[in-house]
Amino acid sequence: MKLFTLILCMAAWMIVVNAEILKFLYKGLPQPTIQKTSQCMPFFDESGRSLQSVIAPSKVYCFFYKDRECHDIATWKEQTHFWAKFGNNPIQYNLPAPQGFVCRGYY
């Protein structure tokens, strides 16, 4: 029973440690929006400002989506995703602009 509890605690700890925080900067806003990885972000905020850059603490893999709920992956001339490295990563995309955006950790 103690071994099971130990394994359960270690698994929970790994989930917390691996949950990376990303910062998303929308055009014209001075402060970034903070989100965990693997959460869908709207490509345009409530005021219609587009996502300008992703600030990542490590390498992440980001995907473009046709919808704001991130169900339908976008494909524009083979562009479905991009790698975001450590630091500030400007977002470049083909038209029409995506509606949703998700970044996942790279392990």
Question: Scanning the structure block, which residue is given the tokens 């005021």?
Answer: 47
Query: pTM for the full model?
Result: 0.68
Mean pLDDT is lowest, of 2-6, 44-48, 78-82, for 2-6
Amino acid type, 83: W
Q: Where are the alpha helices (DSSP H) in 2-65?
A: 2-18
Q: Rounded to whole angstroms, how far apart are CA atoms 52 and 92? A: 8
Write b or e for each residue in 22-49: b if 16 or more Cβ atoms lie within 10 A of its Cβ, otherwise e.
Answer: bebbbeeeeebeebebeebbbbbbeeee
| Per-residue model confidence as pLDDT tens digits over 27-79 | 988 888 888 888 898 988 888 998 888 888 888 888 888 888 988 887 655 56
| pLDDT above 70: residue 3 | no
pLDDT computed for residue 79 by the predictor: 62
| Confidence class for position 15, pLDDT limits 50, 70, 90 | very low
Class of domain 21-105: mainly beta
